[in-house]
Structure 1
Amino acid sequence: MKIKFLGTGTSQGVPVIGCQCEVCRSLDYRDKRYRSSIYLEIDGVHLVIDTGPDFRSQMLAQNISRLDAVLFTHEHKDHTAGLDDIRPFNFSQQKDMPVFGREQVLDQIKREFSYIFSSQKYPGVPQVEPIEITESPFTFEGITITPIPVSHYKLPVFGFRIGDFTYITDANQIPESSIQLIRGSETIVLNALQKTPHISHFTLEEAIEMAEQLGAKNTYLTHISHKLGLHAEVEKELPEGIHLAYDGLELSLP
């Protein structure tokens, strides 16, 4: 399994428009964060989790030329707004793009991108195949994908486990039943928005506590805001086996 972090920022990205804080003015490339998304290549199958507003730039920055399916964690715009930019993959691969999400996510996409689903389609609109997922594991191209239910304040969100890798974003609560689904993962991605309390995201301290509870060999933190602090400084504060992810980070897993 090959993994690329396409984006590791929160809904506003980093730098934030108009902000003059030290993080937003930082020259460290690790402090430049697109909206959160991740790319997986597994046995020749290419997946993306979430297509946020930066999707086109992310595809170009990482030189990604193939995409077989999209998995959506939830319906917020910072995770769905770039769906229109799957069109080049439609053209190059000559097929509809499978997009997986829970029913309410697919319903939201159908409202926001109504032209995609119109009975009289404008030429060149994205071609998608919406596929509803529930809490049960499902397979795609021979790959087993296990949805992990978590809570983003009151909004249900799916994380996903594939093999020994689990990806969770936009969460502030993971129920015990989901913790059991995650256990045994060698590599986990968790959101860690900032150091101060937030209504719908793990803080850095909460993410570390959850990572230690889950006990993975390596945990990478994502969905990071400028309020967390400079990457180079925060990284020094983290326990062994816990790391800040950054845009462009690549992992190779057995």
Structure 2
Amino acid sequence: MKIRYLGTAACEGVPAAFCKCEVCERSRKAGGRNIRTRSQAVIDDTLLLDLNADTYIHSLFYGLDLPSIHTCLITHDHEDHLYQDELLNRQEGFAHGIDGQPLSIYGTYPAYAKVVAAIDKGTGYADHNVMENRVVPVRVKAFEPFEAEGYRITPLAAQHDVRCEPVIYLIEKDGKALLYAHDTGLFPEETWEYLISHPVKLNLVSFDSTHSIQANSSGHMGFAANAQIRDRLMKEGLVDENTVYVANHFTHNGGVTYDEMLPVAEKYGFLVSYDGMEVEI
């Protein structure tokens, strides 16, 4: 199993679009891995994780074959994770050669409803359903596993904006397991209860590290909170010495650039994501 991080920032990007803070200025000057687009990832070039406004540019930068992606998992409906109007570009007349190859969008009710609204919007432009068999919304619920393209996928409750019904995803295939934990603060107890009662050895954990070196564990996390999660995963026997931990989803409000956070993350034993990074497990 392989994960590619297409984008690794929070909503505003790094540097933030309209910001002149010191972190953004240092990031602009340093360039390279210090530049982050909004968070999105893909598993095995097959499962797309979130659909934000940077999806198109990600496909160009990293050679992602978007017409051939048929499964997208939405963590929650905040705009940096779901830009539903992008789906209008999959409608008849805009996208050719994809008949009979729909894109299924999986999400909890708030995300599901936005995708349904986008489909209705596209259909409203014509006298027939130009979105038919182009986009298929699928509603998911926390703790109810489903199968897609040979993967077993389990949405787990996240600790984030409750209005979004946010989830993180446990993804399993061929004896490998990955936990994609964005956006979330410290895991809700019901998520721990599920993980403990349905034990699986995690090969990779992708942490919400929005605040990096800052102390925060509500809605998002920093490295210290990530370490708390890691330690409990160890205690519960859900990880081992070979598990890979990736810190991901950063904001300039964390106070450091990629270069500056790297030595801090290394002390925790975390890899620091950057746009385009691939990790194979």
**Alpha carbons 1:153, 1:199 under 8 Å: kept:** no
Larger Rg: 2
Q: What's the offset of the Cα at 1:251?
A: 1.1
Q: What's the offset of the Cα at 1:158?
A: 1.2
Is 2:178 the counterpart of 1:169? no
Is 2:59 the counterpart of 1:59? yes
Structure 2 Cα separation of the partners of residues 83 and 167 of structure 1: 24
Is 2:206 the counterpart of 1:189? yes
Is 2:257 the counterpart of 1:230? yes
Q: What's the offset of the Cα at 1:161?
A: 1.1
What number of residue pairs does the alignment pair up? 250
Report the more deviating stretch, 109-118 or 135-144. 109-118
Give the structure 2 partner of residue 141 of structure 1. 149
The two structures, once aligned, show a CA RMSD in angstroms of 2.7
**Alpha carbons 2:52, 2:81 under 8 Å: kept:** yes
Give the structure 1 partner of residue 269 of structure 2. 241
**Alpha carbons 1:6, 1:36 under 8 Å: kept:** yes
**Alpha carbons 1:191, 1:207 under 8 Å: kept:** yes
1:221 corresponds, among 235, 247, 259, to: 247
1:97 corresponds, among 74, 96, 103, to: 103
CA displacement, residues 57-93 of structure 1 (integer Å, 9 cap, x when unaligned): 1111110113121111111111111652562996344
Report the more deviating stretch, 238-247 or 164-173. 238-247
Alignment of 1:2-41 (within 5 A): 2-25=2-25, 26=27, 27-41=30-44
Give the structure 2 partner of residue 50 of structure 1. 50
Structure 1 Cα separation of the partners of residues 218 and 83 of structure 2: 23
Report the more deviating stretch, 200-209 or 58-67. 200-209
Report the more deviating stretch, 219-228 or 81-90. 81-90
Report the more deviating stretch, 211-220 or 68-77. 211-220
Structure 2 Cα separation of the partners of residues 147 and 68 of structure 1: 18
**Alpha carbons 1:14, 1:31 under 8 Å: kept:** yes
Give the structure 2 partner of residue 74 of structure 1. 76
Is 2:168 the counterpart of 1:159? yes
The one-letter amino acid paired with 2:167 is: F
* Structure 2: gaps of 5 or more residues: none
1:106 corresponds, among 112, 117, 120, to: 112
* Structure 1: gaps of 5 or more residues: none
Structure 2-normalised TM-score? 0.79
**Sequence identity (%):** 23
Q: What's the offset of the Cα at 1:18?
A: 3.0
